Structure 1
């Protein structure tokens, strides 16, 4: 195992500080607001972080140089993967507790409350993955929109199933460091990012693992794919089941059977999911003065209590919370 004096991504230094407030504020710019509390009364830190932001991920390495407790708010719009290469950390999330070390990393989901304790000699490789990018990758692999938030198991073993994921991280870090010296092609970085996301989704345990591994969803018949395309193109229009049957070119019974067998949903439920995602996109990019009800109405939601419940079930937060983060 590497020791804590090793600092990956040394060409991308973000900060080094012995001030607790400075360390907290700087780390928050990469991740989210959090409490940072030295475990010793009046204690200081000897913190540092190197980080580089790519298109869909942010790679970093960091240490606090002291026994500290870290209590973030919910991550909301990103996943965070961490692997100590020195020392250890206790990570609690979603009612589960993992003692992370050099052979066992962790992944934090956006919707779960988190608390961590880092040892003084703990130094970690960390990968922030944008939630929208990972959900889009999974949706493409499944061939359908997601119906509930993607949630991973907290522990990520370095060996065993999915063991090829951490070597992908090392490869991406090496590529970034090499790029700094030689101006490597940005296209290759993007391809490595895609491989990183795909390897994570295929190799780690999450609530879509069974659906993903079955692969049955990738061979949907033509009439199902026709309706999916129709929905994507006309999601803002008033659409009824008769419109979907007409677009499919088959009977209503055949259409429902196709969606049930190959998408594990119904045509109208698929339409609702697409519209909910369009609402989320609009809320995240909304200008000042835009209201949740106005955006919801634009996408065909007029029973706002029911809409809010469906939205929270899918995204793990209320529409108002999304709007506040725009």
Structure 2
């Protein structure tokens, strides 16, 4: 995860909103903490980067609001232990209370408003990790909005399992931890949480998983994909792809819809976006964003920048400066 190393740990106890902002920004992303004037605040925060999930235990007393300062390509899951809080996502609101997890998409600016006494566990997952897992299963590039359901029942099914695994991880936090340092075990547990989330909690790609897009692609679809990879920089057409696969255009479209969940042209655009992303991160700094975009067939810079931000959570100019993780 960005800015976090495997096994990274942090503990904080204080009452200064600016200090809390700095701590949370370091661990989960750019946030701003505010408290009403002339009010008391106590905030305890324990954090560990446990493999594929960053995990924290939070306890606060007093009124405060925690708002995002920028979009981040991460998924935040709040597991309340005590007290309620109001989560505002755009114009929508969700009440975070014991027994119900709140699932927040960091690409949509949100704010957490807390009153009185509150404690919760939280999980932060890099969305790119989820995209990689889905891409491996579906045998196609995956990006865009994940659209997980915003709430999850913690008393039954997947929610109960995730909550119990999280409580186990919570036992490794703090100076009084009864669990010895065990990064590999924490990594395994966090991987189980991500797999459970992807496989069983409804999201945008659940239909593709349930409809069999995970099945091995037939030979003609694989031939089409191989042809795309070999000609990413060439101006190829649907007819070219179908000819290389040895089938008609209509059969090609049906095969991609069935086994890749998208059209051949959209799949090709996804491959080209991935190639442009790699170049933005790895190419010499003297090479401009526009040159890289044109190299991979993107002619409209505004449209390219918009699509890139949807995929990777930042504008291509930031990736060019080396601030976006691969």
Bin of the TM-score, shorter chain as denominator length: 0.7 to 0.9
Q: Counterpart of 1:195 in 2: which secondary structure?
A: helix
Distance 1:94 1:77 in 2: 16
Give the CA RMSD over aligned residues: 3.1
Q: What is the aligned partner in structure 2 of residue 71 from structure 1? A: 67
Shift of residue 275 of structure 1?
1.5
Tell me which of 293, 297, 308 is aligned to 2:294. 297
CA deviation digits over 1:184-235, x for unaligned, max 9? 472x44443332112112222222222222234424322213333443x436
Q: What is the aligned partner in structure 2 of residue 89 from structure 1? A: 85
User: CA, structure 1 residues 49+290, in 2 after alignment: closer, same or farther (shift >3 Å)?
Assistant: farther
User: CA, structure 1 residues 78+305, in 2 after alignment: closer, same or farther (shift >3 Å)?
Assistant: same
Gap regions ≥5 residues in structure 2: 1-7
Q: What is the 5 A alignment of 1:1-326?
A: 12-39=9-36, 41-146=37-142, 148-160=144-156, 162-163=158-159, 164-174=161-171, 182=180, 184=182, 186=184, 188-231=185-228, 233-234=229-230, 236-238=232-234, 240-241=236-237, 243-283=240-280, 291-312=288-309, 314=311, 318-320=315-317, 323=320, 325-326=323-324
Distance 2:318 2:149 in 1: 25
Gap regions ≥5 residues in structure 1: 1-10
TM-score (norm 1): 0.82
- Number of paired residues? 313
Q: Counterpart of 2:102 in 1: which secondary structure?
A: strand
Distance 2:84 2:282 in 1: 39
Q: Counterpart of 2:33 in 1: which secondary structure?
A: strand
- The answer to whether the 8 A contact 1:62-1:124 is kept is yes
Distance 2:178 2:320 in 1: 37
Shift of residue 310 of structure 1?
3.7
Distance 1:57 1:285 in 2: 26
- The answer to whether the 8 A contact 2:73-2:313 is kept is no
- The answer to whether the 8 A contact 1:66-1:119 is kept is yes
Distance 1:185 1:27 in 2: 22
Distance 1:172 1:290 in 2: 45
CA deviation digits over 1:69-102, x for unaligned, max 9? 1111244221111112121211011432111111
TM-score (norm 2): 0.82
User: CA, structure 1 residues 183+73, in 2 after alignment: closer, same or farther (shift >3 Å)?
Assistant: closer
